[in-house]
Structure 1
């Protein structure tokens, strides 16, 4: 009789709770984007006047644009320096350690960030909020690594892109709800309670982490691979980074340049829409910005199913990079409704995430997947952090400029355009190398089925499949499994 962990429902149960690991953290991440005017608003508005239903003064934390963008940059820098070591520790110490440690850091960071808002007008505000974002970044970026590692183990060789797409959809559901609900919540309860609400959602992720760790541990024991995983983890060395293939590095830089155009844009998009396009309120601008994530939420699972069926991950990565180029040109030089551009960007973002990130487990061994994911996240966040700082410099540093000049925003959009060109070039190189090295990424569904029927084992055969066969007596047990 097959054990429970071999059944499809078990891995989808793991997937369900894994999806909620980052729901609250994604909600928290872009709260500053929705409340950018409040973060940069005046401490008090004693003599504000009302015109056309709006006031000429927004009460807030009185951050400069540079300080505001630093909130995103510190998050990115933290990921850049922490996630590599975090991925290595996850490979060495296991998924249970990862989900507990990094979900706790997310809760702690969001709590300190919310606490900092109570010190507005003092010298403590910025250090507290930056410290909160630093801890939050340490947890959230690393939590995404262990999330991907769990999904790659349970779904490698099966519905891998679908599983990645569903985790992204649930994460982006947090982002979407943030863009729809945060502005109204802040209007009613204030910025402090809004930030505390985000911290509470991160606590729900910590509860999910407990459930996921139990399911993952029980499942690997039932499959008879817990001992093999432990044995492999002992052999992981940090020096293994040097053995990562060219495929991997081209994927990393393709991801970095694509995200350089998405995350810094979303961070400032609400303010950009208000400044350039007449007639949009802060809440309407937030809704339009959120369409990037709305599209991702709706499409990610469907796109994942498509890529699982078709294959051609490298081709999809190149295609979505090319199709992103017109977005920033439209935003910079036309007055086409911004919703067109944000939906367009969301569609290409859905294809990018479903084709790029699930490709990493195909080109690196399972035992070093955490380290590889951590390094990829690090490089991506270094790029994003630098872009946040550059955007802050382009926009200027005077908080008194309630409306930033259009020429500055055009400079920002062209900066995003240049990053997308970089993504196109690396994606093109990735496809050339993939073609030269056997087409690992661009295998079609038919060729994958043919390879699975081949009696010759592959170097990256999933440990899960090996354990299942051993459990059924069709293979000798893997090393270390005898202890189970």
Structure 2
């Protein structure tokens, strides 16, 4: 009789709570994007009366807020990215060494702590404590959220490798993006009624929900490992992981990392400023409408992620999809830079290419790295990705740079920003083409379906040799028994 952990319902139950890990943190991540006017708004407004950002009986619009400059606002995103870049490398190694249960508790707690300090900082507007507290909060939040995503992907890869891997990654992304979508739909309304401070505290409460999910998924993972008889073997494998193993990661892996970095360089910095861009360039959009349009990137991703995951599991061609996503993203930034086509067209289009990119690129990592060091590989990937995004956010801040917190940014500055996004997308095309060339020379693993790869792929192609001396037999045994990614 099959044990519960061997049945499909069990792994999908693990997946459900695993998805909830980052629901709240993804909601919190883009709160500044929705409330950019409030973050950069005036400390006080005339007549002490503000209704939805407009002062009655005056011709000038006044938004009461925290008084940040555009550079300070973009620094909130940059420090998140830089923190990820520094923390996730060690976090990935620690997860490989100490297991998922250690990581899931620590990093979900950091998201709660970071979001709480970020919310606390908003109570000190007009003082010298505002920016340091909010940057500290984003720093802790970033160190937790980026690392938590590694644990989340690692758990998903263990339970679904060789089965519905792209579907599982797609559903994980969909749940995360549900948090982002709800943020774009409800945060501005909530802030209009309760103010920015209570809005930020509401995000903290959602992070607490993620912490409760962490407790649940940890328990399910522990019980499942014992039922599968893998707990002891995986712990033994973890003790053999070494930092030096990084040098064995292949050229194919690093090209995949660069492809991910350049693609996301065009996504996240754009979304961070999209709401204000829409209001500055296109006439007739309120802050609420601009937030809805910017959030359409996540709306499309939410709707398509599961379907795209099923498609990619069936047809494979992950490398081909990576190239296609980059090529099809070029027109998005071209339209935004050089035309006045309604911005909703571009944000929906970007959401579609983003869905295919996320479902094809990230699930490719377990296929090109040794299983014992998947956490370290995920950490390195996230680190490089966040270094790129952090640099991009700083460059965007300089391109848009103005010392006035509420001034309308000239269109020529926005155009330069979109050209910068185009440059990143072109770089993504180059690296993804090279990735396909190298992959073709090494057996074409990325462009096979999951089931065919499992059957046809040689036991140890050049870039998937076991990193640990003397583990060849162990890895072959584990691959027959179960997908042996450390999940202790």
Q: Shorter-chain TM-score: what band?
A: over 0.9
2:94 maps to which residue?
Answer: 89
Where structure 1 has 5 or more consecutive residues not aligned to the other structure, the ranges are 472-477
CA distance in 2, matches of 1:465, 1:148: 23
Give yes or no for contact 1:86–1:142 (8 Å, CA) kept in 2. Answer: yes
**Matched positions, count:** 471
- Select 1:302's aligned residue among 298, 307, 326: 307
- Select 1:160's aligned residue among 144, 157, 165: 165
Matches within 5 A, 1:221-260: 221-260=226-265
CA distance in 1, matches of 2:126, 2:451: 63
Deviations 1:254-280 (A, max 9, x none): 000000000000000000000000000
CA distance in 2, matches of 1:195, 1:401: 21
Q: Does 1:205 pair with 2:210? A: yes
Give yes or no for contact 1:362–1:460 (8 Å, CA) kept in 2. Answer: no
CA distance in 1, matches of 2:481, 2:363: 26
- Select 2:374's aligned residue among 341, 345, 369: 369
Deviations 1:439-460 (A, max 9, x none): 01011467437538x9x68868
Deviations 1:452-471 (A, max 9, x none): 8x9x6886899999569669
Report the more deviating stretch, 438-447 or 196-205.
438-447
Q: Does 1:150 pair with 2:178? A: no
Give yes or no for contact 1:224–1:468 (8 Å, CA) kept in 2. Answer: no
Q: Does 1:8 pair with 2:13? A: no
1:107 maps to which residue?
Answer: 112
Quote how far apart the aligned CAs of 1:397 are.
Answer: 2.7
Q: Report SS of the residue matched to 1:41.
A: coil
CA distance in 1, matches of 2:228, 2:476: 9
Seen in structure 2, the aligned counterparts of structure 1 residues 51 and 416 have a Cα distance that, compared at 3 Å, is farther
Seen in structure 2, the aligned counterparts of structure 1 residues 212 and 464 have a Cα distance that, compared at 3 Å, is farther
Seen in structure 2, the aligned counterparts of structure 1 residues 393 and 6 have a Cα distance that, compared at 3 Å, is same
Q: Does 1:423 pair with 2:422? A: no
Deviations 1:258-313 (A, max 9, x none): 00000000000000000000000000000000000000000000000000000010
Where structure 2 has 5 or more consecutive residues not aligned to the other structure, the ranges are 467-472
Give yes or no for contact 1:27–1:175 (8 Å, CA) kept in 2. Answer: yes
2:383 maps to which residue?
Answer: 378
CA distance in 2, matches of 1:282, 1:470: 54
Seen in structure 2, the aligned counterparts of structure 1 residues 164 and 224 have a Cα distance that, compared at 3 Å, is same
CA distance in 1, matches of 2:413, 2:475: 52
2:65 maps to which residue?
Answer: 60
- Select 1:347's aligned residue among 337, 345, 352: 352
Seen in structure 2, the aligned counterparts of structure 1 residues 445 and 224 have a Cα distance that, compared at 3 Å, is closer
TM-score computed with the length of structure 1 as normaliser? 0.93
Deviations 1:203-225 (A, max 9, x none): 00000000000111111111111
Give yes or no for contact 1:87–1:371 (8 Å, CA) kept in 2. Answer: yes
Quote how far apart the aligned CAs of 1:169 are.
Answer: 0.1
